[in-house]
Structures are given as structure tokens and as C-alpha cells.
Structure 1
Amino acid sequence: MSHYFFAGKIPEETKLAMKGNMDELRKQFPFRRWVHHEDLHITLAFLGAAPEGKLEKACSLVGRALATTDAFPLAMNGLGTFGRKDSPRVFWASLSKSEQLTKLRGSVFTACEEAGFQLETRPFSPHVTLARNWEGEGPFIPGKLDEQPLNLGFMLEEVVLYRTNIGTTPKYEPIKRFRLKSLGPQ
């Protein structure tokens, strides 16, 4: 069964630049599964399996909530992990602190709850997942993350409803797009 989620779309040129960074990081950080660069995103609300009517309602409410939201700048500017310090479960790129991103996530999250979805209640920790499941021969050394410079700026201009297609690469398929308001001529 497919799962669905709303996410901030990372621009294609930023994904390609991050692919180069990930190729280098892979040499130093042996994780079992690396995310395909086309699947890089910023999760705003994970819905799980969902009936079509409920998805349509969520899309309608998200569209309304984002109708007046402006595009805004962000940057991937560091690296981190979730899970055990010596054997992390998730390896990620951090995002610059952004009130706009927190507000955007709140709008999407609230719209999805209004559509009837039960969402995860953990605090929002904005990041871009790069890899999963440490499989190095020795323990992971968190201090090595500070040695990896990362500063990729981009404009967040779109929120997307994605469907997960297990067994395909890339595995996230855009179902519906919500363009944020442009800040000037394009």
C-alpha cells in the first residue's frame, strides 16, 4: 500500500549539487541505504496510507492555507544524525533556522489534521534525510560531521503531495503541487 506525505520541494539544481556532496559523504560515512538525489525533500506532514476522499480534502485545505504564502530562502548548512550516537538510524542535512518554514509546516500540519489525519506529534525538526542505517565496521564518530562543510542555499517555492512507490528509484512520486507566491519577476 502506498503512503503519502506533504513536503517542501528542493529545486532540481540544488538536488544535483547535493548529489555531488552525497557522493563524497558516502566515501566517509558507510550507511546501508542512501536516498536517491531526486527523492530529497523536507517533510512537512506524513499522512501514511490514505483514502482518496481524505487526500482530496487535505489537498483542498492545504491549497487554501498556502494561497497567500510567499516563497522564501533556505539553506542546507550542516549534517546530523538521529538514533544512537555510535550507530545512527538516520543521516541528514540540517536547514537554516527559518520562521517561514516553521509557519509553512504549521499551515500544512493544521490543514491535514482538519482533513481528519492523525499526525505525528513529535516536535518539528526540519532536515533533509540523506541516508539510513549505519553499517560502518566501527562506531560512528559524530565529531567527523563538523569537518564536512555544507552550505547550499535555495528558494523554497513549492509544496508537493508525494506518494511513496516502494521498489522504484526514485521512489517518491509527485501527486499534487502547490506553488508558493513568487517574490518578484520570474
Structure 2
Amino acid sequence: MRVFLAIELNEEVIDKLSVYQNYIRKHSIKGNFTDKDNFHITIKFIGEINEEKLKDIKDAMDTIRWNNPFVLRTEKIGCFPRKDKKIVWVGVGGETDKLNSLFKEVENVIYRKGFKKEDRPYSPHITIGREVILNRPLESIQNEVNITSVQFLVKELSLMESCRENGKLVYKTIYKKSFLES
């Protein structure tokens, strides 16, 4: 199974992201746009694992001593260039210092279970489209999109499975670690 650790989003955030995504889609020649049910903030991509490693990840999540929920908010639209295509995303702001601390703690507990640490700096975002080719520069589109910041409470970490169902990419929650517990 293919897994990753993520922060799931509430309906208000998902609905707002859908509006931004539709605007980008309108100004795209083509792209692979994220299904709204798959919007999330990745904390740690893990990849292919077996049942034994799945147990290790759950055990690692249980060792996280994080009992303070924190607030994030949606921000500007941006992109990561990939040759002539782009990965288009919505950035996150708010208590990003706490988000970065959570990322570091996750990296450490997962590393102790034998998983590799991330080589790249952590860059939290919500992907709304991959392999996007825009019909004009993103900067001009950014100036037109009315980004209304939406705040949301981060109160748990989810272990997600990435799989295909009837040809559709689906992210399923398979385990959660609540930040409301002591």
C-alpha cells in the first residue's frame, strides 16, 4: 500500500479551494486537477509499505506527544515549475511555526522506525493541480483571483492510503492521531 501522513481539511476550506481550482482550470490549456475529496496538507510522504511497516507508522504516530491544536489559514495561489508544466497550489499561513514543529517531530518519530528523512525543506501547501499548462502567466491570474483567507483548526494527524478505485485516485484515512488527547 502507498501511504502518507497528512492534515485533512474541513468542508469550508475544501469548498473555497474548489473555487480557486475552478478559476485556475478556466485559465488552463490542460492539467490534472486534484479531486476535491483529496485536498490535504502533506506532512510526510512515505510511499509503498507492507503491513509490518504500517504497524510501525501507527506506533510512531502514537508516540507523538502533541496536545495543542493550532490554527492555519489558506493564502495565495502559487506553483512549483516542472519543465513547461506546473504544480499549482494554495499556500498556508497562520501558526506555521507549530506546523513546522509538528513536521520535525513526525520526521523524528518516523526516522526512529527506520524511515528516511526528507531531503528537501518542508514547504506546506495544498495541491490543486498537477501538470498544469496555463494560458497566461500565473502572476496575472493571481492578481484576478479573490483569495479569501479561511482559517481552520488542526487537531489531528491522519495516516492516508493512496489507491485507485474504479480508475479514480482516492485518499483514504486509515489511522488518526488526535492532538486533543493528553
Whether 2:145 is the aligned partner of 1:148: answer: yes
2:3 corresponds to which residue? 4
What's the % identity of the aligned pairs? 23
Normalising by the residue count of structure 1, what TM-score does the alignment of the two structures yield? 0.85
1:125 corresponds to which residue? 123
Detail structure 1 runs of 4+ shifted over 6 Å in the superposition: none
1:50 corresponds to which residue? 49
Point out where structure 1 has 5 or more consecutive residues left out of the alignment: none
Task: Describe the superposition over 1:11-43 as per-residue Cα deviations: whole angstroms up to 9, x where unpaired.
Answer: 133212322332233212344111011101111
Provide the aligned C-alpha RMSD in A. 2.0
Q: How many residues align?
A: 177
Contact 1:76 1:152 in 2 (8 A): yes
Residue pairs, 1:21-170, within 5 angstroms: 21-65=20-64, 67-84=65-82, 87-96=84-93, 98-136=96-134, 138=135, 140-144=136-140, 145-150=142-147, 151-167=149-165, 168-169=167-168
AA at the equivalent of 2:6:
A
Measured in 2, the distance between the counterparts of 1:146 and 1:126 equals: 22
2:175 partner SS: strand
Alpha carbons of structure 1 residues 135 and 88: separation in structure 2 relative to 1, 3 Å: closer
Point out where structure 2 has 5 or more consecutive residues left out of the alignment: none
